[in-house]
Structure 1
Amino acid sequence: MSDCEITSVLPSKLRTYAKKNRIPLSATFELTPFCNFTCPMCYIRLTKEQAEKHGKMLSADEWLDVALQARSMGTLYVTLTGGEPLLRPDFWEIYSKLNEFGFLISIMSNGSLVDENAIEKFRKYGMPYQFKLTLYGASNKTYERVCGVADGFTRISNAVKLLKDSKVPLMLTATVVRENADDLQKMYEVAREWNVPFQHSISVVKSARGAKNSVKKSRFTFDEFIDELTLEKLEKNKFPPLDSPFAWCANYGNSFWMTWNGYMQLCAFMNGPYTTLENGLESAWEKLNIKLDSLKSPYECADCKYAEFCQRCPGTLCAESGDSEKTSKEFCKIAERLYAAYQKLIKEE
């Protein structure tokens, strides 16, 4: 699950109030760029050598200082992610203090490090508001192919049982790529067997901030699912005219993403503009919003007849083209084909 999906499930009235008053209601703390899985589509995972070129990880004390500043500014929801957040040796120190501070904490994890010890820690320090576990397949064979771990599904199955038995609010998410697509139906089946909510996405974006992924190899092309479109599906996915690049952005003005090395940005994908913690979190928040307010949609989008079928998210544009004010040829191509499919289906009605 992406951070925009996280923000979208927050109480709408609270989110509307926060956005109107520029209150950072929610924050995502990217605790580490490291992960014990090696998924080919990952946009953030770094090796130790790669990470050293991009700064150092914030310490536990630095994260807790950020958290206290955020709380004073009105932050209520905090999501802990990575990489794999539970890999940090000081994860439980950070988690326990955040609970003491009164945050509603969500954890985004691959689940592989959830064992009896982790459950005991949750019992000791308090259960998370939600645990979002990413599912990569429905067999050990698929986990080995996608994640590079031999017993991944066995470990995740055990993690799900432990979390459910402990009454931890649990949600399953999945990114469907070529390497695990054959398991999608089975993933839904196991989610039903476990009685856990599950949702999937086929969205795969280019890597950010020094990471390197195999987007072209892993993600599906638009042509591979165009025949499955119906008029009803297209109607539901039409986008209204935008009066700003962030008109339908759930994060804009009420949420921030703090990277593992101390940069504040809007979301996981939008690695520019960003601000630093040099003058404190409140200053970083104010400067970030000023920078975001100044952004404009790509000039090509101004009078585009395909606009209502274009998912021109500034964050994704930034990841795809390197600049949120530049369009992506792939975005334009998809929007044009969606428009053509829509017109064809209307004529057939």
Structure 2
Amino acid sequence: MHTLIAAPFLEQHVLVRPGSRGGVLLPEDRYEELRTVNPAAPTPAWLVAAVREQWDDLDVTGRPVGDFLLVRQPSDWAYGKASYELNLGCNYDCKHCYLGVKVQSGMAWTDKRRCLDIMAEAGVLFLQVTGGEPTMDRDFMRAYRHAWELGMMITVSTNGSMLWRENLLRLFRECPSYRVTVSMYGATKRSYDELTRREGAWDQFVQGMNAARHAKLPLRMSIVVTEDNGAEEQAMVDLCESWGVEYEVFTNMTPTIYGGGEVLTAQSKEHLRLRKTFTGCNAGHTFFHMDPYGLVSICKIGRDDQISLPHEGIEGLARLGEIADRLMLRTGGCSGCSIAGSCRVCRPLAKHYQEAKAPLAAYCQHGEKKAG
């Protein structure tokens, strides 16, 4: 079981520690030294010093390198991050959910394992495991453990309702996460159960959060503000601060991945916030998304022209860059836009809004001008 990971990451080399946010940039020659060192050899003095400076609770003096360090091999591919939608099923039925119909289905374990192996071969160091509710999946624990053993820094995106389970807590103790991101849907039982459309959801959330905080999991909260819980925004922030847990507030609802606009009714117009100007991203070039069936797309939003990882293997990823460049073009309903340079949404997201027949004010500055 490793404590540290040395790995290429994009155009750099890093030393990272599961369960910790911090890391060390490694010069290429130091990375190459670790890549070729005898695992039984004692830890080099320079590595002892670097580890002590970054993590003062970790002393590797005199220890064989192979006892605590996993060295990831270089990849011919440029991917440093990926997200894996383990399933679409969920024990909640949130009004705002962008997944639309939530069905508990996906690949057999052998295909899941193969896809994780391909991700590692492609160079993925940071992996987000999401859903649906991923902890509900029958293969969550072995998928998580396998990704961890491959040397990935894992973020689990969850509603927190299962975090009280001892088998999950044991897994996180043995294989620490990079981060556990918990969605928060209210500050009271009434609003929380109303938004999730599950009686008792608040009680499960509180039970999970109490257990997660007691276990000192690396928590981060995603506060979701909607029509149902808008009046409790500050109360949700206050609760996170009282727990000593970092948080981010989300107020903008998006259509479903199938272009359905029904979830937009959960939007609180009062709390709608302007997005930052979209200046481009590396979707499809340095990161990608995979759905429960092994279909890879440039991201969670731009799912057109998916590539089947189980059938095509790693070679299929060669087409992602061209797909990304094409999907980002301002075409269709956005062609010829006079203010495209200051647009706040990427083209794939704008397309979802257009398919959902959403009012322009929900995503477009032209709509803001008309509304004004």
- CA change 1:92–1:237 in 2 (3 A) is closer
Number of the residue aligned with 2:82: 27
Identify the match of residue 316 of structure 1 among 342, 349, 353. 349
1:263 offset after TM fit, Å?
1.0
- Confirm whether residue 298 of structure 1 aligns to residue 334 of structure 2: no
- Confirm whether residue 168 of structure 1 aligns to residue 168 of structure 2: no
> Per-residue CA shift, 1:304-325, capped at 9, x if unaligned?
44334421312312322349xx
Instruction: Check conservation: 1:130, 1:169, Cα contact below 8 A.
Output: yes
1:45 offset after TM fit, Å?
4.8
Instruction: Report the secondary structure of 2:157's partner residue.
Output: strand
- CA change 1:315–1:43 in 2 (3 A) is same
> Per-residue CA shift, 1:262-309, capped at 9, x if unaligned?
211112122212112254332221122222233421266565443344
- Confirm whether residue 59 of structure 1 aligns to residue 59 of structure 2: no
Number of the residue aligned with 2:239: 190
TM-score between the two structures when normalised by the length of structure 2: 0.71
Aligned equivalents of 1:279 and 1:152: distance in 2? 39
Instruction: Report the secondary structure of 1:78's partner residue.
Output: strand
Instruction: Check conservation: 1:33, 1:45, Cα contact below 8 A.
Output: no
Instruction: Report the secondary structure of 2:83's partner residue.
Output: strand
1:146 offset after TM fit, Å?
0.5
Aligned equivalents of 2:77 and 2:330: distance in 1? 21
Q: Which amino acid aligns with 1:280?
A: E
Number of the residue aligned with 1:9: none
Number of the residue aligned with 1:142: 191
1:209 offset after TM fit, Å?
4.1
Structure 1 gap ranges (5+): 1-12, 240-246, 345-349
Q: Which amino acid aligns with 2:169?
A: I
Aligned equivalents of 2:11 and 2:345: distance in 1? 22
Q: Which amino acid aligns with 1:39?
A: C
Aligned equivalents of 1:107 and 1:172: distance in 2? 12
> Per-residue CA shift, 1:85-115, capped at 9, x if unaligned?
0111221111111111111111000000111
Aligned equivalents of 1:72 and 1:90: distance in 2? 21
Instruction: Check conservation: 2:96, 2:264, Cα contact below 8 A.
Output: no
Instruction: Report the secondary structure of 1:280's partner residue.
Output: helix
- CA change 1:173–1:25 in 2 (3 A) is same
1:71 offset after TM fit, Å?
0.9
- CA change 1:260–1:279 in 2 (3 A) is closer
Identify the match of residue 86 of structure 1 among 128, 135, 138. 135
Instruction: Check conservation: 2:294, 2:309, Cα contact below 8 A.
Output: yes
Instruction: Report the secondary structure of 1:173's partner residue.
Output: strand
TM-score between the two structures when normalised by the length of structure 1: 0.76
- Confirm whether residue 120 of structure 1 aligns to residue 153 of structure 2: no
> Per-residue CA shift, 1:114-155, capped at 9, x if unaligned?
11412122223x111100000000111112101122332332
- CA change 1:331–1:163 in 2 (3 A) is same
Number of the residue aligned with 1:36: 91
Larger displacement relative to structure 2 (126-135 or 260-269): 260-269
Indicate the structure with greater strand content.
Answer: 2
- Confirm whether residue 335 of structure 1 aligns to residue 365 of structure 2: yes
- CA change 1:332–1:105 in 2 (3 A) is closer
Larger displacement relative to structure 2 (128-137 or 151-160): 151-160
Q: Which amino acid aligns with 2:193?
A: E
Identify the match of residue 304 of structure 2 among 268, 272, 276. 272
Instruction: Check conservation: 2:333, 2:354, Cα contact below 8 A.
Output: no
Instruction: Check conservation: 1:29, 1:81, Cα contact below 8 A.
Output: yes
Q: Which has the larger radius of gyration?
A: 2
- CA change 1:315–1:334 in 2 (3 A) is closer
- CA change 1:225–1:190 in 2 (3 A) is closer
Indicate the structure with greater helix content.
Answer: 1
1:162 offset after TM fit, Å?
2.0
- CA change 1:238–1:35 in 2 (3 A) is closer
Instruction: Report the secondary structure of 2:240's partner residue.
Output: helix
1:195 offset after TM fit, Å?
0.6
Q: Which amino acid aligns with 2:345?
A: R
Structure 2 gap ranges (5+): 1-7, 14-75
1:329 offset after TM fit, Å?
6.0
- CA change 1:300–1:111 in 2 (3 A) is closer
- CA change 1:329–1:209 in 2 (3 A) is closer
Instruction: Report the secondary structure of 1:294's partner residue.
Output: helix
Number of the residue aligned with 1:281: 313
Identity of paired residues, percent? 20
Instruction: Check conservation: 1:191, 1:197, Cα contact below 8 A.
Output: yes
RMSD: 3.2
